[in-house]
A = this chain, B = another copy of it.
């Protein structure tokens, strides 16, 4: 009889992360500042539908930028790679998440920074996003109204990015519609388990491994993973890929997702952020998990677990 080693591995990384100090809960809107800094959870969903979880893996938080790769995948599926690529590039910008980062033709550099994510949000009808994200997660996701309204009131810089995109001719809707859709997408309530399921769907060639439903094509899944690998961790993406080796995306709500293609998706939750806006303990858990288990995308197969 074999023993499943994953539960013990998850408890180990959780214990290690719990001991870490530092980081700051996001405060740019009051609703985020109330997050429990000690909340800590992790979930793994395998491509055959196995689920492992530890800690606060079902605690709710707002998805924020973790939504970006999934809405990008929906845009690719809905419009095709070429149509999206005309409006949003796929090159890392070497700059922070809220940088203006437009290329010479006025396109945002990539869909993982705010400028690009707003354009992506403008390319897909709101109901396609809502239904698509529900398919990724396996159930419909609710909007946190207080966060949504707060974003609407204070998101001046994001609104500026939308106006710049409109001026460059790459915005698909009005500025108001694009930013509202984007703020709504960021305000969706998820858990570590939810985002792990979403990530597992991308790992599983676009099929949700729990419901079995197809959300996006394998072509879209691999393209999305490549863009997460290049650009997902903002101006620390290169070191993340070298050190952890898993396509990933973080959000200021405290969530991170990472994907091991063909194997599993993982989601983490811990609100305190490092100075680049990534969950400090979430990063530590994923680094530790990768190092201990040979999850690196470019590891030789003999060195993988």
Query: If the complex has contacts A100-B100, A157-B164, A159-B163, are A238 and B298 also in contact, measured as CB distance less than 8 A?
Result: no
* A232 → chain B closest CB, angstroms: 11
Among A159, A163, A231, A262, max chain B CB count under 10 A is at A163
Chain B residues near A161 (CB-CB < 8 A): 160
User: Is there contact, CB below 8 Å, between B262 and A241?
Assistant: no
This chain: copies in complex: 4
* A193 → chain B closest CB, angstroms: 22
User: Is there contact, CB below 8 Å, between B167 and A160?
Assistant: yes
Residues 149-169 of A contacting B (Cβ, < 8 Å): 156-157, 159-164, 166-167
Determine the main DSSP class of A at the interface with B.
Answer: helix
User: Is there contact, CB below 8 Å, between B167 and A163?
Assistant: no
Contact of A241 among B95, B156, B229 (CB under 8 A): B229
The 8 A-B residue pairs whose C-beta atoms are closest, nearest first, are A160-B163, A225-B298, A156-B167, A205-B300, A157-B167, A91-B238, A226-B242, A92-B92
Known: A221-B300, A222-B296. 16 other contacts (CB 8 A): A90-B238, A92-B92, A92-B230, A94-B95, A94-B109, A156-B163, A156-B166, A156-B175, A160-B166, A160-B167, A204-B300, A218-B303, A226-B241, A226-B296, A247-B298, A297-B298
